[in-house]
Amino acid sequence: MSEPRFSPALYWTARRLVWWFLRWVYRIEIRGTGNIPWKGPVVLAANHCSFLDPPVLAMVSPNRNVRFMARDTLYSNPFARWFFPRVGLIALDRTRGDLAALRTAISSLKGGDLVALFPEGTRSPDGQIKQAKGGIGFLIAKSGAPVVPARIFGTYEAMPKGSGRLRRSRISVRVGEAITPEEIQAAMPEKGAYEAAAALVMSRIAALGPVED
């Protein structure tokens, strides 16, 4: 059976609803959206410490669809299996090196899409930025796309790892300047040093400061 087709109407309807929720409940603020190119391939990379991070990160691009790489365990019920493919999610099996998912993401980027991912691979248990996974460095290096770093604040306080409920918090996102493909290649001391590419991206994310009122 073929993968369900992406539905722009469903994506933008869902995005508007999520935006309303995040503005009303968490007073979300985003700075630096002008750093995201309006067209062409882009990797959007951010820190990860909460289930709220994907919907929050989807809000930083007001004019482009954001495709996410996310663990395939999210397809745990019939609604999720119906919904996520139609809003562009790329399912990733974290229990093994999922080359098929990486190839899908690279193909999507080469087609001019914006793909969002979390280089740490899983949620931080304490809200602090952790080391990136090497597989993400492979994707970044092979795609040839610029990487826009973003740092999310407040989602750990709102819903930390292990929490089953939402808490009141202030959520914000700082979007940094794009890392060029040339910078990515220069950061790799030798061919195949994908961990170095991933480490560069994480360092740019960590360097981003909080959004000030």
Residue ranges covered by each domain of the chain: 33-206
Distance CA(140)–CA(156), nearest Å, equals 26
Task: Mark whether 82 is an active-site residue.
Answer: no
Q: Which DSSP state fits 2?
A: P
In the block, residue with structure tokens 């007073």: 27
Under 8 Å between Cβ of 115 and 44: yes
Both tokens of 17, joined, read 């609803």
Under 8 Å between Cβ of 92 and 72: yes
| Confidence check: pLDDT of 190 > 90 | no
What DSSP assignment string belongs to 91-112?
Answer: EE-TTS--HHHHHHHHHHHHTT
Both tokens of 91, joined, read 């399912």
Q: How far lies 111's CA from each of 42, 145, 154, 163, 187, in Å?
A: 10, 11, 33, 38, 25
Can you state the percent helix, strand and coil of the chain, rounding each to 5?
Answer: 40, 15, 45
Summary mean pLDDT of the chain: 89
Distance CA(184)–CA(51), nearest Å, equals 28
Distance CA(121)–CA(34), nearest Å, equals 26
Model confidence, pTM: 0.92
Under 8 Å between Cβ of 118 and 50: no
For residues 74-94, give the mean pLDDT: 84
Q: Exactly one of 22, 26, 48, 156 is catalytic; which is it? A: 48
Sheet containing 172-175: order of strands? 29-31, 172-175, 147-153, 42-46, 114-117, 66-71, 90-92
Both tokens of 156, joined, read 């750990």
Give the model's confidence band at 24: pLDDT under 50 very low, under 70 low, under 90 confident, else very high: very high
What CATH class does 33-206 carry?
Answer: alpha beta
Q: Which residues pair with 30 in a beta bridge?
A: 173
Under 8 Å between Cβ of 104 and 110: no
Round to the nearest angstrom and report the end-to-end CA distance of the chain.
50
Q: What is the per-residue burial (b if ≥16 Cβ within 10 Å, else e) of 192-206?
A: eebbbbbbbbbebbe
Lowest mean pLDDT, pick from 40-44, 86-90, 146-150, 205-209: 86-90
pLDDT digits (tens, 9 = 90+) for 123-149: 999 999 998 877 788 888 888 999 999
